Structures are given as structure tokens and as C-alpha cells.
Structure 1
Amino acid sequence: MKTYDIVVIGAGSVGVPLAYRLAVRGLRVLVVDKLSSVGQGQNKAAIGGIRATHSDRAKIKIGNASLDVVRRLLPEYGQDVDYIEGGYLFPAYSEDIAQSLKKLLPLQKSFGLNIDWIEPEEVRDRCPGILAHGLLGGTFSPEDGHLSSLKMIGAFHRLACQEGVDFLFNTEVVGFDVEQGRVQAVLTDQGKISCSHVVNAAGAYGRDISLMVGADLPVYPDSHEAGVTEPVKRFFLPMIVDIAPDSQSDNYYFYQNAEEQIVFCITPRPKRMGTDRRSTSEFLPMVIPRMLNLYPRLRNLKVRRVWRGLYPMTPDGKPIVGFDQQVDGFFHAIGMCGQGLMLGPGLADMIALAIAEGQEDEEVFSDLSPYRDFSGEELLK
């Protein structure tokens, strides 16, 4: 096989944009994936939200960078990914939720996030028909949006191929050749691939890859289900996120996509740990009553299909990004906590800069270090 500067493991929301950005810098890049084509892991299960609205400085910075990339895909690169900048709305129906959201605003604004508290009237104007009783207002970030995950991965795949990136599918990584503390090659079931750098962007299976170089990183996938309805004439633009928990779930969220379908998802309680991607009978009875209570106008829509994807979670709800301390040339970009789609484009530039030129964003790389203290938990993870 050819010799490469960098082998990226994982042809998903992080690996493919990163491969493109590395190739733009003149590096010889190969992307390896055990599945049959790009985006066949968790990318195609992503519902499409992309935001900088987080409660963590590193994720806010990465999210803003991702949004900047996405906004330029069509005008500068001719890649249409169905991006709609409809904003993110977090409504509040209790004082506890309202105060929690308001307390985040100074932190979020200090990190450059365009977000503010809006009153009930504006919430109703932006989402006609939303439950008015008990509505206290909400936070709204107008520069967030949503897109097609498959169209975005396709766009970055085309751009990567134009820059000379090679892709090797149906190929499983089984180990690494490490000599004198430095990676020399990737070992696969199809043979040995010589390289000077490796990026672990293997998503839900990132921990398995990291263990091959002796790094036991805390990435544990859990299952989330999503669904999509038939199309209906557009009546709202934002992604609506209700963070109020109930006995069965922590939060749920939905939006109307470019094809005017309602796309929705829920975070079950307790978490469904593991890698089972089979749809269940519990999902719709769990999410539909919550959605209809919040937005009665959804009542007569038919659900077209449902699916299940994996969130590669970390204990603190933040990604793991950084160089391995034991094996030179090995880089971890895993544990995206279900946010690879929204973080991948921004992370790609940051990681490419770190690998190609040795320049690291100090805040991002320290906050997301593989060797950080994993205690604590982000509110808007």
C-alpha cells in the first residue's frame, strides 16, 4: 500500500472534514472506515442541528467555527447542505429552568455567543401555536441552525476527493505498529498502511481504537432515537429544545427541515447504554406526548419513520481532543457526545492546524484534553 502522512480512522462527521482540511495543507491523507461509505456510522443518524449554543467555552468556540464553515459551503464551494439559519430556542415554563438559562447568558456572551433572553410574546411570534400557558420566555440564539447530515458529509467527501484524499472502506483497524514510542503504521484486516500520524475519529468505537495504543479513554456510547414526519407547510424556523426533564426523559428537541418535515429526538432516562441501534416500541409513546403538549399544532402529523443512533458520551459531556502522551504522532478526536455533526467542521481546522503546524488553540485543547479531570457536567450538552 501507499505511504501516507496521516491516516484518519473514521469516515464520519469529524474524520471527513478533517481529512479535507489536512489535504488542503498539502498532506497525503487516507481515511479508513470499516463500513461501506462515508457517513454510515452515526452521521446518518444525526438529526441535523448545528449550534454554538453550549455552556462550555471550548464548545462555543468550536460551534462558532463550524457555523462559519457551513455558511460558506454554498457561496464559496458550491455545496448545498440544506442549511437554514433558524436559530435555537430554549423555552422555559418553570422558574427553575428560566433561572438556569438566564444564569448561563453572561458566560455564553463572554465567549462570543449571540444569544439573549426573549419574552413570551417573541417566543410565540417565532413559534406560532406553541403552548402559551405558563410560558415565561426563553433563550434564543439566532445564528444557530440546521441542515442535512448526509448532504454535509457528501459535500466534505467531494471536497476531500478533489484535494487528493484517499478512502479505504470495508477495512477494519486491528492495531498499530509503534516503534520507539512513535506510530509507524496502521494495521488493518486488509494489510499494513505506513504513516507518520494517526487520527482516531472512530466515533462510538473510539475507545476501542485508543485502547490499541494503551490509552483507556472514557467514551461509552448510549442510544438515542429520532423520527421524522410527513411534510407540512412551514410554520416555524427554530430548533426547539425543551430541557425540562420528566420521569422518562431528560430533554427533547425538534425542528422543521428544508423539506418541511418535523425531525425530532429525545434523551431517555435512564440512558440506554451500549451500541444497539434497533428501533424500539418505547420511543414514540415517550416523545409524542411531550411534543404535543408543547406544540399542539403537531397533533395531526403522521410519522414517516424512526431510527436509532449512538451518542459516544464522556463523563463530563465534552469531547476528547488532543495528542496521545505515550505514542507520538497519535491524535484523539473522539467522545463527541452526539455532537460530531455540529463540532466536526470547526474542529477540523483546529486539529489540522495542530498537526500540520503545531499550533494549538490553548483554551480548546486544554479544556478537551484526553488527560483532563472528567468530573462535572455541562448543562446544555
Structure 2
Amino acid sequence: MSESPNAARAKVASQLQVNLISPNHLQENAAKLREIGRTFISDTISVPTPEMYTYAVNATLGDDVYSEPTMLALEAHMAKVSGKEAALFMPSGTMSNQIALRTHLKQPPYTILCDHRAHIYKYEAGGSAFHSGAAVTPVIPANGHHLTLPDVQANAILSDDIHIAPTEVISLENTLNGTIFPQEEIIAISKWAHANDVKMHLDGARIWHVAAETGTSLDELCQPFDTVSLCFSKGLGAPIGSCLVGPAAFIKKARWFRKLFGGGMRQTGILAGAAAYALTHNFPKLAQTHALAQTLEAGLKEIGVRITSGAETCMVFYDPSTVGITYDEIADCASELEEPLVLGGSRLVVHIQTTPEAVQDFLSIVRTLAEEKKAAGFVPSADASASAPTDVYLRRVPKTK
């Protein structure tokens, strides 16, 4: 005798059932939050607070491919505060950058000019070539800190020589490795670019830090650029999302590309709500983050560690070889603490949930190791001059006790 339709449906339903919430989820999440407060690998690991969730779940329930009121309100707000005509929410900063470039670049051949350390060049999986068929001109800044107009002029391609792909877009990044790009230099590059019919895009994933540190408004920081990508999940602590801002016609086309790329989303009101909460409540915390990063830098200098890129905002790059220590030795000691520290290589990122205790514990490890090396006969290097930072993203997972 065959199963009844109801019995068959019940069997399928039982196969699909799943419970992902641990009975100890409150304790586990509290432990995870403590770990995040002691993690220096990135600011993307910061997490939504209960207050952010409470605010976000009250958002509207529309479908963003059609119309989502809370998201439309967020996009309108981002356009206004950035001084642009329109904005478009994206799942990630990488998608926001890549769709911006794809929308700018209409017909090959063409080249994108950027800093050799730029995220669009090093950390977006070759997206410019894949999505846009674009060549990239990565430029090493002569001053070791930021591109200047002479750097751009020396490397931009304006020729109509058929052997060469002309520069169509200049893409800058602010902050880049935590450093602030001087606004007067950006303006100079922008004026020259626009005079030569070259578009300007900004990867402004962490532009919030520039605004917080310098007191410069977002619209002033964005003004020299045709388009800007702004991340909510870096620095501000939202769970997901970026906004691309620019001219209305440009954003209309970018929305089409977002759909083509698979980025059309549905009930995004909760994501817009989280972003709005982050803008309102987390942006004011960035100044404290910068102060904590400066404490980290000052402590390392006092020990004798070389700083290869200082705490202009939320990042410090360091080289402990001047006191005879390796990154692995620091990471091993950090992983053996009762409450481990999670470290990468040369890059230390302080975020809005980093604890002062984590900073002091890190400095204590480095200080102890340096003293041990000195006692064993190591002579500290007198050369503490800065060199170009090596942005290592490798995560060192704490050892299991």
C-alpha cells in the first residue's frame, strides 16, 4: 500500500527540518564577543549588538528588487550626505567597487590607474579583468605614503597609440592601509583627471575614519570623485553592506549591473536598518578607536619595535625584528593566554569592539619577549626608521587548550 500524499509530504518536511540555534547560544555568543574584542586581524569581524538588532528588525518588509521603503530611505540619505545624486546598496565593498568600474568602463581597450596596494588590485580576485576586461596600472607612490599628481601624470596613459590601452578611470582609496590620503592632493589629481576626460572613483570603504579624524564632512571628501564606494561593515560594525554613490543615470545603470551580477536582493530592510544604526551610533566611537590604535603604536615604539606605518586611524603596521622577535613567536604566546589574542602578521587593526585590555595584553607579550631576547644576548637594532608596510591578512587561530 502506497503512502498517502499527506504522509509523503510529512516525510519530506521532516527531512528539511533543521535547528541551527545552540541551546547555549547566549553563552557562546558572549564568548565570541570576548574573542572579537581581542582580535586584531580586521575590523570586518566586529558584530551587531543587541541594540542594533532591535532597531533593525523594526524595518519595513519590502522586496528590494521591486521597492523596499527602508532601503530607499537609506539610499536617499547616503546620496544626500555624500553630495551625490543617487545611491545603491550592495552586499559588499568588492561588488560596489567592481560594479562602479564596470559602469564607468563602456568599451575596451582601457586601463584603470590605482595605487599598487589598492584593494581593487590586490584583494578583489582580479575582478577588474574578469568583469570589465580592464588592464590595471598599479603605481608605487614616490613618497611611500600616497599617490601624488606627478605620480599619476607619469603613469596615466592619454595616448591614442593603438598599442596602448588608455587610462579611463583613476581609482583612489581612502583610507589605504589605515592612512589618510591628503584632500588637497586628491583635489589636484581630480582636476587634472577631469580636464583629461578621465573618471575618478574612490574606494571609500573606511572613509568614515577620515571624517572622524579630520572633522571633514562626507560630501567634501567625496566631492572630487564621480563615484564613491562606502562600506557599512568596516569600521561602523554593521553586519553587511556598502553603498555606491554617484550621478542618477550612473546609479540607474549600476542597479542593472547589480541584478546581472546576482546582487538583486529581497527583504533588505533589516540590512538598511542595521546600517542606519551603525551610522548613528557607531560613527561617534571611531575617535576612541583611533586613540586606542595610537596607544598601541606608542607602546610598541617604547619597546623598540619598528613602526612601518603609524596609527593615522585604526591600523598599525609593525616590524618586531628590531627587538629580535618574529610574528610567529608573538602569535604563539598570544594563543597561549587564558583569553587568547587573534593576530595576523604585520597588520594590527583596532575596531570599535577592541578592548583596552587586549591592547595592553598584546604590548605585554611583545615587551616580555623583547626582554627575554635581550637577556639572551640580542642587541636591539638602532634602526627604527619606517619602511613600506607589508599588509599581511593571515589569521593565526588560537590553539585549543
**Same fold, TM-score > 0.5, yes or no:** no
Q: Which has the higher contact order (CA 8 A, sep 6+)?
A: 1
TM-score bracket relative to the smaller structure: under 0.3
Greater per-residue helix proportion:
2
Greater C-alpha Rg: 2
Greater per-residue strand proportion:
1
- Normalising by the residue count of structure 2, what TM-score does the alignment of the two structures yield? 0.25
